[in-house]
Amino acid sequence: DAEITQSPRHKITETGRQVTLACHQTWNHNNMFWYRQDLGHGLRLIHYSYGVQDTNKGEVSDGYSVSRSNTEDLPLTLESAASSQTSVYFCASSELAGSDTQYFGPGTRLTVL
Amino acid sequence: GENVEQHPSTLSVQEGDSAVIKCTYSDSASNYFPWYKQELGKRPQLIIDIRSNVGEKKDQRIAVTLNKTAKHFSLHITETQPEDSAVYFCAPRGYNFNKFYFGSGTKLNVKP
Predicted confidence (pLDDT) per residue in B100-112, tens digit: 789 999 999 999 9
Any chain B CB within 8 A of the CB of A88?
Answer: no
A21-54 pLDDT, tens digit per residue, is 999 999 889 999 999 999 877 899 999 999 999 9
* B15-24, B50-59, B75-84: segment of lowest average pLDDT: B50-59
Does position B62 have pLDDT exceeding 90, yes or no? yes
**Measured over all CA atoms, what is the biggest interatomic distance in chain A, rounded to whole angstroms?**
41
Distance CA B1, CA B18 (A): 32
- Average pLDDT score over residue span B4-27: 96
Any chain B CB within 8 A of the CB of A22?
Answer: no
Residues in Cβ contact with B80 at an 8 Å cutoff, skipping those fewer than 6 apart? B13, B14, B15, B16, B17, B18, B19, B61, B108, B110
Greater confidence, A82 or B30?
Answer: A82
Chain B contacts of A35, Cβ < 8 Å?
A: 102
Q: What angle do CA A86, B26, B22 make, to 5 degrees?
A: 75
Which run of H or E residues covers position B38?
A: strand B32-38
- Average pLDDT score over residue span A43-71: 94
pLDDT of residue A112: 97
Strands B106-111 and B10-14, sheet pairing = parallel
Does position B53 have pLDDT exceeding 90, yes or no? no
